[in-house]
Amino acid sequence: MLSGLSVFVIAIVILALIFDFINGFHDTANSIATTVATRVLPARIAILMAACLNFVGALVSTNVAKTISSGLVSGAVPEYLIMIAIIGAIIWNLITWYLGIPSSSSHALIGSLIGTVIVYSFSFKQVIWSGVLFKVILPFLASPIIGFIVGFLVMRFLFWALSRLSQYIVNKWFSKLQILSAAFMAYSHGNNDAQKSMGIITFALINAEILATNAGIPLWVKVACAIAMFLGTSVGGWRIIKTMGNKMIKLQPINGFAAETAAAVVIQAASAIGAPVSTTHIISSSIMGVGAAKRRSAVNWSLAKSLVYAWVVTLPVTAVIGGTITLVVKLFM
């Protein structure tokens, strides 16, 4: 399985799996924060469910991994640059996790990779800007808006369809249905997010000429990344769970169901076209949309504004982190 791998490539594989592990506990809140907040499931059971379905989702498709492995940077790059890109993303993930900010692991990795390549080559030419625009920037701008709109519409529809039922009946049924929506969201998270690490490992293998450009994602890469995501998710990201589940809006089971279902549908659509979107952005904006459907004041807009600021700065900040580490390494080489 590892025949022909250099020490650098093995180090990249290890770092990518560490990134995947951190992504798991950093983004656990994406799929189960609303379920925990509404007390539909105990936190430990919700996390275990999310871990299992993240694992399953990670094995299903490779469209996003192909974008990461071949759609953002052209030509060969030194293997240590890929290591730096992963390290830069890990640094940002740990900072935002510590602060309880649900930022994008996907954009952290992509931003760091772009920054390292630009500083290494002292040029913008090696970055495939059309790929960055259509596969990263446009989904980055569109997906939270779509998540908000879909969350708003799903919640409005449910209000209309269930207006004759008592609150007791609605809570009783949606306490069960929210388990299904959380499972769908967890599966969708694994289906998109675990593929980033698959893509970066495959990029390293292609870059080292160990794997042909059109060979696809090796099975062992899929399994290793799925396991890393499973283990990370099983740890649980409590800081971000509190932000997502308790601070943004006051949630009832029907609200959690609407937000999770809306977000999962948007993520599945992005995964189908190979767009490495932020599951964090989408579920956060879906929760905002659900809250706005109840009433405008139901959303903690001050917190929402802070989250959007964090989303906007992730790409440039991680590009600077990756670029700075690259510059330091070049100075001492």
Residue-wise pLDDT for 136-154, tens only, equals 888 888 888 999 999 999 9
| 1 lies in some domain | no
pLDDT of residue 91: 94
Strand segments, DSSP code E, in the chain are none
Give the tens place of pLDDT for each residue, 36-89: 777 788 877 887 888 788 788 878 777 777 777 666 787 777 888 889 999 999
Cβ atoms 28, 280 nearer than 8 A: no
| 2 lies in some domain | no
CA 221 to centroid of chain Cα atoms:
18
The closest of 308, 267, 304, 302 to 287, measured between CA atoms, is: 304
Instruction: Give the HSE-up count for residue 114: Cα atoms under 13 Å, Cβ half-sphere.
Output: 25
| 97 lies in some domain | yes
Number of structural domains (the chain) is 1
Say if residue 244's pLDDT is above 60.
no
71 vs 217: CA distance, rounded Å: 14
Other Cβ atoms within 10 Å of 273 Cβ, number:
13
Tokens matching residue 157: 């529809």
| 235 lies in some domain | yes
CA distances from 41 to 52, 53, 55, 176, 264 (A): 15, 15, 20, 10, 19
| 324 lies in some domain | yes
Taking each helix axis from N to C end, the angle separating 138-161 and 279-294, rounded to the nearest 10 degrees, works out to 40
Which residues constitute the domain of residue 177?
7-331
Give the tens place of pLDDT for each residue, 155-194: 999 999 998 888 889 888 998 898 899 889 888 888 887 7
> pTM for the full model?
0.80
